[in-house]
Amino acid sequence: KQEVTQIPAALSVPEGENLVLNCSFTDSAIYNLQWFRQDPGKGLTSLLLIQSSQREQTSGRLNASLDKSSGRSTLYIAASQPGDSATYLCAPRGSGYALNFGKGTSLLVTP
Amino acid sequence: DAGVTQSPTHLIKTRGQQVTLRCSPISGHKSVSWYQQVLGQGPQFIFQYYEKEERGRGNFPDRFSARQFPNYSSELNVNALLLGDSALYLCASSLDAGVSNQPQHFGDGTRLSIL
């Protein structure tokens, strides 16, 4: 059974800082990994999808990396803004179709 | 284009009742999945449907069932509701059953409260 851990559980940073969110997973046999953001009481917004053959994926100020063999992924957010405040979830997908989620990292960016 | 739409947005039920939640996928998407998110936890996979057939099932009791219609919309049914069923129920859609590595897109969910 795939176990997903996200560190830190919560993070508070001043506006403008660059930050890194960490995700580790126990089963390296994955097809891809998605990063999502979730605003309070809302659904999930897909940020990035990294295929198992890729090492990095970038979208604007976001960069996600994947080291499948070590079971790790990181989400790098450059020049953070208050609007980035949300919970960030990583979800590797194995041979089935289900996404396996961690508990997420709750991010607060203060003005 | 409209994203994944779910209805209702909020629902209050009592223990023992039955509930039906609805999901319309993004236009052109043929796969629908359901997830349960309890407060403070990540979403847990319940079902996946593709072309009206069940393709995957998570570790949930038989009180949970689902179906997919010819227009690819889907319903999730939960019978004999328990207090522990209180959660945000999320629907996700994708182009196919996962062969092409396409992302899954989520709706805003249905907040179910059991009294």
Indicate the pLDDT class of residue B98, thresholds 50, 70 and 90: low
The verdict on A44 touching B (C-beta cutoff 8 Å) is yes
Which among B26, B30, B45 is the top mutation candidate for probing chain A, defined by the most A β-carbons within 10 Å of its own β-carbon?
B45
Query: Considering CB atoms only, which of A34, A44, A103 is closest to B41?
Result: A103
> Which residue of B lies nearest to A10 if distances are taken between CA atoms?
B40
Tell me whether residues B56 and A101 touch, CB distance under 8 A. Answer: no
Please tell me the predicted confidence (pLDDT) of residue B84.
96
What is the nearest CA distance from A110 to chain B, expressed in angstroms? 22
Cα maximum dimension of chain B? 42
At B11-35, the pLDDT tens digits run: 999 999 999 999 999 999 999 999 9
> Which residue of B lies nearest to A39 if distances are taken between CA atoms?
B108
Please tell me the predicted confidence (pLDDT) of residue B2.
78
Q: Could you list the beta-strand ranges (E) of chain A.
A: 4-7, 10-14, 19-25, 32-38, 44-51, 56-59, 62-67, 72-77, 86-93, 105-110
Q: Which residues pair with A74 in a beta bridge?
A: A22, A65
b or e along B61-88 (b: 16 or more beta carbons within 10 Å of the residue's beta carbon)?
Answer: eeebbbebeeebbbbbebeebeeebbbb
Please tell me the predicted confidence (pLDDT) of residue A94.
85
Tell me whether residues A103 and B40 touch, CB distance under 8 A. Answer: yes
Please tell me the predicted confidence (pLDDT) of residue B96.
77
Please tell me the predicted confidence (pLDDT) of residue A18.
97
Tell me whether residues A43 and B107 touch, CB distance under 8 A. Answer: yes
Q: How far apart are CA B15 and CA A105, in angstroms?
A: 32
The verdict on A104 touching B (C-beta cutoff 8 Å) is yes
Q: How many A-B residue pairs are in contact by the CB < 8 A criterion?
A: 63
Asked which of A102-106, B42-46, B52-56 is least confident by mean pLDDT, the reply is B52-56
Tell me whether residues A98 and B33 touch, CB distance under 8 A. Answer: yes
Kindly list the residues from chain B whose CB atom is less than 8 angstroms away from the CB atom of residue A103: 40-42
At A85-98, the pLDDT tens digits run: 999 999 999 877 88
Q: Which residues pair with A90 in a beta bridge?
A: A35
Per-residue pLDDT averaged across B85-101, rounded? Answer: 86
Please tell me the predicted confidence (pLDDT) of residue B80.
97
